[in-house]
Amino acid sequence: MIELTSISVAQYLELEDKSEYDFAMKFAFIFKEPIDEYGIGDMMEQPFGYIKDFQYEIEQGLTFAKLIDLVAETKKIKDIGKAPLDKFMRFANYLITSIEQIVEVENESLAYEPDPDEVEAGMDKFNGLGVYLQIRSLTNGDIAKFDQVRKLPYSLCFTEMYTAKQMSDYQKDLMRIKQNKH
């Protein structure tokens, strides 16, 4: 078992050979355990834009530099460079784990299966526009409100998107039932 000295984030960044710390951050419980070390609370109450930006970075392959930026955006750590690396990583893992849970909830609650007509019409043209389409739906297409929506709590935006999906599903089912009666 390797013994590592407790270092700060800045000291880690200055290391010529990060391999032992990289290994520890990947496998050691002291680094991996997701803990809200800085008291950010429920991620669902963070701004919608922050959650979506974090989701995007995870999908793209989160780098350590980007992770530092995203942690800094929470404004809970005054000087990230001075933060103990292990504490920083536990907090970062808390954020990552929370985002992954949000993605799972979205995938279960907001998933949409297009019908054959929608597929034939080229619904795949909208691939890659997911977050933009979510914000667009929340602003009713008013791009002037884009930044306002990004600042809203994620929980409020999610509730609105979930409600819109339920209403849409209801309307489709109702139309199908009415068409089957005629």
* Per-residue pLDDT reduced to its tens digit, 100-135: 999 999 999 998 777 787 778 877 777 777 788 899
CB 90 within 8 A of CB 78: no
Structure tokens at 113: 């299966």
pLDDT-flagged residues of the chain (< 70): 1-2
| pLDDT at residue 7, rounded to an integer | 97
Distance CA 114, CA 126 (A): 12
Distance CA 64, CA 47 (A): 22
| pLDDT at residue 36, rounded to an integer | 96
Distance CA 124, CA 121 (A): 9
| pLDDT at residue 139, rounded to an integer | 93
| pLDDT at residue 1, rounded to an integer | 55
| pLDDT at residue 51, rounded to an integer | 96
